Structure 1
């Protein structure tokens, strides 16, 4: 039932662009570390090429993805069809965290609508593209994207966002470094 692809074809890229939500999974190297699975939404994902994707990482309460990617690079991005024909697509690869000051940050920023909560971009060099049936995934009707996080970030302003990131976005729940305190995040 599943199929592995050589790359992200234009057909798969179009399907990915239609999806309203995706999930990102990472894990630390430590056996005792916590695995992480994060839902993502909004206009925050782009296919850059046949084996290259990126998503916009917003300021939030956790930094597990960034910490795990910085430690070992392992990442999988999963999309499920919640409407239309059933399908699940997983993009396995090696991630890189791009923050302000990184060479490609401005390039990535230009691909997305401006968002006051953007703290980074997670770039993925895709090494495996595989689908599965998704027959057990329920059908949902999309109503709208929540704007609560965007409103919160706007209300904080840049100084308060930087202060929040400096106090709450430095290390993972397992103590792994996520963002550099000295960088202008």
Structure 2
């Protein structure tokens, strides 16, 4: 049932493009495992072995801390409509800071220079294994829309409020690992 591939081919990219949600999973040897849902509008397939996603401010910043300490990252998509399938992208990731030229270049080349409200970093995954599995156990759901809550929250805080919030809530993981968001460049 499970099949492994070295990279994302056209069929798998088409599957990714049709999804509305994906999940990121990260951990270190000594930390809790973190799994986070993300909306696929922020994800881009750069090439057959590289994906990025614009990461927005949230209640924590576990992924960045885990990537800094360990680097392992898995991204999972599962079909909740249409034919069943689960797709996992395994590899090594890193957080790209907002104040870097690399961030700016990716934003321009893959997001038409448009940054969503509350964007805090770009996460890049260098893929070393792609795996599909049946997805027979994934329930069917109907997609309605993206929630407006995050946009409303970040807009209400404003740039200064977001900066304060990130320093308070996004500088360290729940296990005390530094995220690197505010290290000297």
Q: Give the shorter-chain TM-score range.
A: over 0.9
- Residue of structure 2 in register with 1:93 after alignment: 91
1:119-172 CA distances to partner (integer Å, 9 max, x unpaired)? 001000000000000001000000111010011111211111111111111000
- Normalised to the residue count of structure 1, the TM-score between the two structures is 0.94
| Alpha carbons 2:78, 2:86 under 8 Å: kept | yes
- Residue of structure 2 in register with 1:23 after alignment: 23
- Cα 1:56–1:134, aligned 2, differ >3 Å: closer, same or farther? same
Of Structure 1 and Structure 2, the greater helix share is in 2
Does residue 115 of structure 1 match 2:116?
Answer: yes
- Residue of structure 1 in register with 2:78 after alignment: 80
Q: Per-residue deviation at 1:42?
A: 4.8
- Residue of structure 2 in register with 1:153 after alignment: 154
- Residue of structure 1 in register with 2:171 after alignment: 170
- Normalised to the residue count of structure 2, the TM-score between the two structures is 0.94
Q: Which whole-Å CA distance do the structure 2 matches of 1:75 and 1:174 have between them?
A: 17
- Cα 1:41–1:115, aligned 2, differ >3 Å: closer, same or farther? same
- Residue of structure 2 in register with 1:13 after alignment: 13
Q: Per-residue deviation at 1:103?
A: 3.4
- Residue of structure 2 in register with 1:132 after alignment: 133
Q: Per-residue deviation at 1:108?
A: 2.1
| Alpha carbons 2:98, 2:122 under 8 Å: kept | no
Q: Which whole-Å CA distance do the structure 1 matches of 2:78 and 2:184 have between them?
A: 35
Structure 2: gaps (5+ residues) = none
Q: Number of residue pairs matched?
A: 182
Q: Which whole-Å CA distance do the structure 1 matches of 2:29 and 2:69 have between them?
A: 8
| Alpha carbons 1:26, 1:65 under 8 Å: kept | yes
Q: Which whole-Å CA distance do the structure 2 matches of 1:73 and 1:103 have between them?
A: 21
Q: Per-residue deviation at 1:183?
A: 5.5
After TM superposition, the structure 1 = structure 2 runs for residues 6-85 of structure 1, keeping only pairs within 5 Å, are: 6-30=6-30, 33-85=31-83
